[in-house]
Amino acid sequence: MNITICESLKEYRKNKGNTQEDIAEYLGISIQAVSKWERGEGFPDITLLPNIALYYNVSVDDLLGVGKIQLAKKIEEYRQRSNAASDDREKAAIWKEAVYEFPNDLSVLHYYMGALFSSDKNNEEFNYTDEIIKTGERLLNESVYDWQRYSAIQLLCYTYSRTGNFEKAKEYAGRAPIYYVTSHELYTRALQGEEAVANIQGNIMQLTDLIELNICQELMRKKEFANKEKIYMYNYVLNLFGLLFSDGDFGFYYCRTSNCYIKLAGCYADEKDLENTIKNLSLSAEHLIKYITQPDYKHTSFLVNKHEYKRDNSSSNNSKELLEDMQEQIYDFCRGDKRFIAIEEKLKKYE
């Protein structure tokens, strides 16, 4: 009990805005006793627990941390249901159910906002815009955790941008830190030894991923490029990933390389280049299947060998998305090719 109640006592007292003297006077005990409880050097007599809980207007279970344990368990159940959902709309519905059950839990609101944004991503009507903005503003006003606040800022920026309100998008973009003063970069100076090496390797992976994001998504949205230019840029990103994961242990980033290959296939299909279209479709499927099927493992490539890959159990939905991409009209010229058919059949096994 003393493992969790000391934190609960401090949290509830600070949230109420009172002092150790206040609770000591209410209970008719010494300040020293309350101080010991909060330091974890002892715990209240069991007969005092109902009065302490009443004082803070919580249950004894909440006071003992049992409520938090049950809450974490329920949220994990919602998270697992979300991971198993067939599409983004279903995920949004699951997290809406969670918000109904836990309307004041900010971690639930964080998941809910992300699910709403993903559900709206490919919907021109933007049905969830108002709800995304309302949830994001609440997180900014109530959360004390930077990761929740910055996530809210990011999605608010994206939401205003895609609805054409670029002034508001710029306003929220300006509330985020620049690259060079992120915690990831500052840790390169604050950490030492192997911990510092692991942090720097993580930065290199994320920076490579940011290059992919800027080239393959953002840059492509801002300007129309010729197929020759697109092919150059997709190959540039693939070469970067290849240099970083020199042993072929791409881990999570198989999903990125798979996406680059399907984009390359589209460029070549637009030129009616059969061999390069089939080649890149095959590579896209190969990398996606590795992403879906690979077990947990430790990276061996020199620049990332302090990191491990943890399997993403929700990744199988990507097979369906790739199959849908292959139904685009641009591939009609090679749809009857036996190699094209073989790629489809292979992907269907993981759909």
Alpha-carbon distance of 112 to 102, in angstroms, equals 11
Per-residue pLDDT of the chain (351 residues; tens, 9 = 90+): 444 677 778 888 887 788 888 888 888 888 888 888 888 788 888 888 888 888 887 777 677 766 667 778 888 888 898 888 878 888 989 999 989 888 888 899 999 999 999 887 766 666 789 999 999 999 999 888 888 999 999 999 999 998 899 999 999 999 999 999 988 999 999 999 999 999 999 999 999 999 999 999 999 989 999 999 999 999 999 999 999 999 999 999 999 999 999 999 999 999 999 999 999 999 999 999 999 999 999 999 999 999 999 886 655 568 888 999 999 999 999 999 999 999 999 999 987
Alpha-carbon distance of 5 to 37, in angstroms, equals 8
Domain boundaries, the chain: 2-64, 85-176, 202-348
Alpha-carbon distance of 310 to 76, in angstroms, equals 17
Q: Do residues 117 and 128 make contact, with C-beta atoms less than 8 angstroms apart?
A: yes
Structure tokens at 79: 């998270």
Q: With b meaning 16 or more CB within 10 Å and e meaning fewer, what string describes 208-224?
A: bbeebeebbeeeeeeee
Domain 2-64: give its CATH superfamily.
lambda repressor-like DNA-binding domains (1.10.260.40)
pTM of the model: 0.71
